Structure 1
Amino acid sequence: MIPLERCLPVCTRRGTVLGTTLVLIAAPALAACSGDPSEEVRAAAEGFLEDWAAGDVEAAAAATTDPEAAGALLDQAAADLPDAALTPELGTVAVEDGTATVAWTATWDLAAAPEWSYPATLQLRAAEEGWDVVAEPALVHPELGEGQHLVLTRELPDRAAITDATGQPLFSPTEVVDVGVDPAQVTDLPALAQALSAATGVAAEEITADVQAAPAGQFVPVITLRRPDFEAIRAQVFDLPGAVFPTGTRLLAPTSRFAAALLGRVGPATAEVLEEAAVDGRPAYAAGDQLGLSGLQRALQEQLTGTAGFTVSVASTDGSTGDTGREIDAVAPAPGEPVQTPLVPAVQNAADAAVAGQPLPAHLVVVRPGSGEVLAVASNEAAVAGNALAGQYPPGSSMKTISATALLATGTLTPQTPVPCPGTFVVDGREFENQDQFDLGTVPFTEAFAQSCNTTFMQQALQLPDDALAAAAATYGVGTDWQLPVDVFGGSVPADSTGTTKAANAIGQGQVLMSPAQMALVAAGVAGGTPAVPVEVVGAEPAGAVPTGPDPAVLDALRPMMRQVVLSGTATALADRGEVYGKTGTAEYGSNTPPDAHGWFMGYQLAGPQGDLAFAVLVEGGQSSSLAVGVTDAFLGGLG
């Protein structure tokens, strides 16, 4: 019989239809044409790699000469390269005598590390139906042999420095003690929690809940302390059954409160931080990495952390034979870039010491007039540190600096203009009063400002256009949505208030809100003549448009008024601290009777030991400005 030749579609075992030439002969068999079978080989290799890359190990293994062995190899690869994603790229195909070789390139998107690429080769054999990939270790990596597996070691570079204004690093490796609980050793959990709480300040209820929720055998952290801080409580906690104290090293600022709101802190990555840093859903960092958890350390995470590197080695699966630890590839970690802040340690230390002496929550922010550089950000242990920059508080009479700006800008008032200062003043049926209803009679505007006469400012402000206070505030940058790495609340002064609200706004009550940082910027604007944009990082993009600033003639009139506050007004305790200008403030809040009040002082010092400085102090719940003035006095006295 004469053979008949025709071209038929042949369906491979993987379902890919390939056009090839077959020979139909009189024998009871159907074979492939004698033409080039490379397309069928390519399809088989492609199907195997696609299944592997998709994570379908069972389907990929089924396309090999030994599905069980191949499945074990692919499962081992997944364990060796956790969370990695494979992208294969096929190369050339060579077929000879029932065997085939397919070159391909493996590119692994390693979790929290750079990509890893290498050339590899698949061996295939002709099977009864199509082609099978040879199940051998080299299908994972050409350097991999029998009884071996890959070992991926990931490494972050040393974290880049955050420096002070002179370029000196502010963080250094510091010994710490992790105070925690080993649940297996606990004999009396309530007693342990109470004792640890008394020593550390962490709530006993929180400690108890964490221990009860922890998986068996897991260390439960309570607090991390610097070695000196731990030694101070050692006698209280060391012999408690269940308490354990592993040591380590952390990258820490000079003290626990040193510019904490701005600098932030570094510690083991939290789930929230890892999710925030992910790129297109892929992790940029891994659990256990030391990352920025707050402040600049978190806001500038990528710049400071750099990029992880890795090494890949082959090792024996039983840990005892063959090529253990033989490195086959590596990518060096890429260090990050340092960040320079305008912080001045001498100023920061003085600010920290000043607020530390106050038992109530206290904040102090220092800004350089003219440049807007943030020189210090201080909050004491009782305060929420972030509120120094982003807190929103009624400013009380410190707002009169802005109200005076609006009034002086009209041209109808001068520092010498006589103004009434009655003990009380009624607006739309609501009675407002001065502190203890003091009554100065008619006095120069400067005197009303220096003595913080509420009724004067209410009377005068009601004669202004409704938007005048907001407009005056805006000349200092108030109301700006500053674009900074660490948020600063730019303040809020309504532009459409009338009646009692307008009167209250003039004395920093009503609907006016400020942060200590923004009030320091207002003081800097008065001192420098040209308000500045806040600067947290030297050389960074401007945080916003430069405010227009009040008319120079207005500032020339306002500065002597602020000086008089110190010389003869409500802040005479600062009279011996050099050339100091400022304004006190008492801001009522809450619903208690009599109402609670915050205490403020905002102002500036010219030609002091640290040059020209502008600052704002807030003592939460201080009831009057006296505590804020006291913190200011301690700060200025600590500058040298």
Structure 2
Amino acid sequence: MTEASGSDRARRGVCALATRISAVLVVGTLTLTGCGVFEQTNERITSVANAFADALNNDDLAAAAAVTTDPTAAAATVAALYDGLGKDARFEVRDVDDDARTFTLAATWKLGRDGENEWTYTTTGTAEKTGDGWRIGWDPATVAPGLDIGPLTYSPVYPNPARVLDNAGGELMSQQVVTLVNLSPGVDTAAVAALLSPIAPTITARSLRTDLEAAQGKQVTAITLRPSDLGPIQDALSAMPNVTLAPQTRLLTTDKDLASPTLAGLSELWQSEADAAAGWAVRAQTATGTQRIAGQEPVPTSNIRTTLDMRLQRAADAALDPITTPAAIVALQPSTGNIVAMAQNSAADAQGPIALTGLYPPGSTFKTVTVSAALQAGAVTPQTIVACPASANIEGRRIPNDNNFELGEVPLHTAFAQSCNTTMGRLAVALPPNALTDAAAQLGMGIDYLTPGLTTVTGSVPAADTPALRVEGGIGQRTVTASPFGMAMVAASLARGSAPNPTLVAGAPGIPDRTPPALPATVADQVRTMMRETITAGTATQLRDIPGLLGKTGTAEFIDDTHAHGWFVGIDGDLAFAVFISDANSSGPAVNAAGRMLRAR
């Protein structure tokens, strides 16, 4: 119920007194009539004000307009208000004053995509008695402050844009103005293609026609251009019929040739931080511009400093340039978990961020996990003499060595360095079902990390409940899968002696979903020693010129064993990395790519 004003209470007191006096003097008829007029007026003002508020609360534009003195103007104004602010608002009538015939309207708006911003205010409205009864005297300011100035709109207000920096503080990404080249039906596609194809060779008159046909009469964006690309052709494009140039602001790399699967995640992080810091404003549109009516100022944001080493990033990019099939390189600093480079070629980009989330059989690079599990089980030492036949039938699965090479009886470290499948298959089959799963987890594989700026999958190493599964798992096949990021984590964990928390944004390390038991220090030392022999006398001797390098090659079969991916994982001081090349048919191209990167950094 609306609380009575001071004048209301005074009038009611007078009415009560008049009633008592009338009983004695019998002269109260006029007084009572006056009180009846007062009560009737108050109730009718309250009634029409509540009807107006209820209609607004119910988003009933017609009903709200109908109780005003100018329904046509009211309907148009409130419709525009809903367009500008949305409809998430609540209105309440307070403080009816019958003398002034006014009331207070209190409102609360929920603004923004999720209603995260709240605008509250009170306004004063008037009621008028007309030939059709009581009406709200139409005044746009009764509904919202500033609405009498012009239509109201809501918009977020962002702080000065932050920059994304590399690990040395150099600018990696910043907000820049780009221009969308939009085409409408009827455009001269040949003329547009002639201007755009030097910038984007895939754009042709035919491709533009195909895009327009698929849009079914709607406008299409042919390309988005930076100022340096737009400048020489801007006048020619602007003069073409059915071509529209639309400027926008976007977060872009400072070097337009830089590409990395980390950029998408960094862009999302940048946007989320900008959104969290944003203020808001309600503005009235006037003939000369806008006037701010209400709002909240944004909170300043800080630059995002990443862990990326641009010298190494460019070396990794260049190392993949000669490769035509999808390929990726991920490099970390084991001591910190900092991601220092992450590269993909264009063939990989067409498939998505395979460096981060692509899952493939890791092949012989997984033997780092297999020997770690076998050493921890106490079944062998690096000096244990093991058999390395050209092929072996293990639990009904024929396991061959690459090109059927044979070593005979050799120490385990030699079998590892030469990547003997038959040896590793026999080691794995003797392990418990969870041995490979647990050893992989110690090296960060199969662990999920919540890392600011990154979405990653390390891989999957399910428990091998049958001997056949353990044989396949021991050589990185069948149910075992890994991402390039996951295998880089394995290398970094062996270098460090424990799994580091991967970090892309300085000071914001990833959080693992679980923490497995620590890897015994002696086991890490032994595996690293065997990885060194892979370089000096094993399957990656083409990298012997790189001092102190450790590594493990891998060939992983797929598509009915008729194709194979190529892998190489390595440790070079405080640098650990994984190289993956799809459908390479051997580890050689991956080893060579690693060499190109390491020699150029």
Query: Which TM bucket (shorter chain)?
Result: 0.7 to 0.9
Partner Cα distance (2:377, 2:205) in 1:
59
Q: What is residue 137 of structure 1 aligned with on the other side?
A: 140
Partner Cα distance (1:617, 1:94) in 2:
79
Q: What is residue 9 of structure 1 aligned with on the other side?
A: none
Task: Report 1:212-227 matches (<5 A).
Answer: 212-214=213-215, 219-226=219-226
Partner Cα distance (1:629, 1:47) in 2:
78
- What is the aligned counterpart of 1:568 among 537, 548, 566? 537
Deviation at 1:220, TM superposition (A): 1.5
Seen in structure 2, the aligned counterparts of structure 1 residues 558 and 150 have a Cα distance that, compared at 3 Å, is: closer
- Secondary structure at the aligned position of 2:343 is classed as strand
Question: TM-score of the superposition, structure 1-length normalised?
Answer: 0.79
- The answer as to whether partners of 1:389 and 1:516 remain within 8 angstroms in 2 is yes
- Secondary structure at the aligned position of 1:637 is classed as helix
Q: What is residue 486 of structure 2 aligned with on the other side?
A: 518
Q: Does 1:495 align with 2:460?
A: no
Deviation at 1:151, TM superposition (A): 5.8
Q: Deviations over 1:216-245 (max 9, x none)?
A: 5x64213334466779999xx999997777
Seen in structure 2, the aligned counterparts of structure 1 residues 466 and 199 have a Cα distance that, compared at 3 Å, is: same
Q: Does 1:85 align with 2:119?
A: no
Instruction: Please say which of residues 395-404 and 161-170 is displaced more in the overlay.
Output: 161-170
Q: Does 1:465 align with 2:467?
A: no
- The answer as to whether partners of 2:360 and 2:482 remain within 8 angstroms in 1 is yes
- Secondary structure at the aligned position of 1:359 is classed as coil
Q: What is residue 578 of structure 2 aligned with on the other side?
A: 616
Deviation at 1:430, TM superposition (A): 3.2
Query: RMSD over aligned Cα, in angstroms?
Result: 3.7
Gaps of 5+ in 1: 1-19, 265-294, 607-611
Seen in structure 2, the aligned counterparts of structure 1 residues 345 and 312 have a Cα distance that, compared at 3 Å, is: same
Partner Cα distance (2:180, 2:147) in 1:
41
Partner Cα distance (1:569, 1:240) in 2:
63
Seen in structure 2, the aligned counterparts of structure 1 residues 367 and 116 have a Cα distance that, compared at 3 Å, is: same
Deviation at 1:343, TM superposition (A): 1.9
Q: Does 1:579 align with 2:544?
A: no
Q: Does 1:303 align with 2:273?
A: yes
Task: Report 1:88-237 matches (<5 A).
Answer: 88-96=91-99, 100-112=101-113, 114-127=117-130, 131-141=134-144, 143=146, 145=148, 148-150=150-152, 155-174=157-176, 176=178, 178-186=180-188, 199-201=200-202, 207-214=208-215, 219-226=219-226
Instruction: Please say which of residues 562-571 and 532-541 is displaced more in the overlay.
Output: 532-541
Q: Does 1:453 align with 2:420?
A: yes
Identity of aligned residues (%): 35
Deviation at 1:635, TM superposition (A): 1.0
Q: Does 1:387 align with 2:361?
A: no
Seen in structure 2, the aligned counterparts of structure 1 residues 324 and 627 have a Cα distance that, compared at 3 Å, is: closer
Instruction: Please say which of residues 422-431 and 109-118 is displaced more in the overlay.
Output: 109-118
Q: What is residue 403 of structure 1 aligned with on the other side?
A: 370
Instruction: Please say which of residues 255-264 and 382-391 is displaced more in the overlay.
Output: 255-264
Q: Deviations over 1:112-163 (max 9, x none)?
A: 5843333311111235676321112332345555x85446565433433333
Look up the equivalent residue of 2:166 and give its one-letter code: D
- What is the aligned counterpart of 1:66 among 67, 70, 90? 70
Question: TM-score of the superposition, structure 2-length normalised?
Answer: 0.84
Q: Does 1:351 align with 2:316?
A: yes
Deviation at 1:533, TM superposition (A): 2.2
- The answer as to whether partners of 1:302 and 1:336 remain within 8 angstroms in 2 is no
Partner Cα distance (2:144, 2:240) in 1:
52
- Secondary structure at the aligned position of 2:86 is classed as coil
- The answer as to whether partners of 2:81 and 2:153 remain within 8 angstroms in 1 is no
Q: What is residue 286 of structure 1 aligned with on the other side?
A: none
- Secondary structure at the aligned position of 2:251 is classed as strand
Seen in structure 2, the aligned counterparts of structure 1 residues 331 and 247 have a Cα distance that, compared at 3 Å, is: closer
Deviation at 1:43, TM superposition (A): 3.3
- Secondary structure at the aligned position of 2:221 is classed as strand
- The answer as to whether partners of 2:110 and 2:119 remain within 8 angstroms in 1 is yes
Partner Cα distance (1:34, 1:379) in 2:
83
Count of matched residue pairs: 566
- The answer as to whether partners of 2:157 and 2:281 remain within 8 angstroms in 1 is yes
Deviation at 1:578, TM superposition (A): 2.2
Q: What is residue 8 of structure 2 aligned with on the other side?
A: none
Task: Report 1:525-536 matches (<5 A).
Answer: 525-536=493-504
Q: Deviations over 1:183-215 (max 9, x none)?
A: 2223679x969x969954369887445312447
Partner Cα distance (1:557, 1:302) in 2:
44
Partner Cα distance (2:243, 2:289) in 1:
39
Partner Cα distance (1:599, 1:324) in 2:
62
User: Which has the larger share of helix?
Assistant: 2
- The answer as to whether partners of 1:310 and 1:333 remain within 8 angstroms in 2 is no
Q: What is residue 298 of structure 2 aligned with on the other side?
A: 333
Partner Cα distance (1:309, 1:632) in 2:
50
Partner Cα distance (2:388, 2:557) in 1:
20
Gaps of 5+ in 2: 1-14, 20-27
- The answer as to whether partners of 1:309 and 1:334 remain within 8 angstroms in 2 is no
Partner Cα distance (1:76, 1:513) in 2:
56
Q: What is residue 284 of structure 2 aligned with on the other side?
A: 313
- The answer as to whether partners of 1:304 and 1:337 remain within 8 angstroms in 2 is no
Q: What is residue 253 of structure 2 aligned with on the other side?
A: 253
Partner Cα distance (1:556, 1:541) in 2:
26
Q: What is residue 7 of structure 2 aligned with on the other side?
A: none
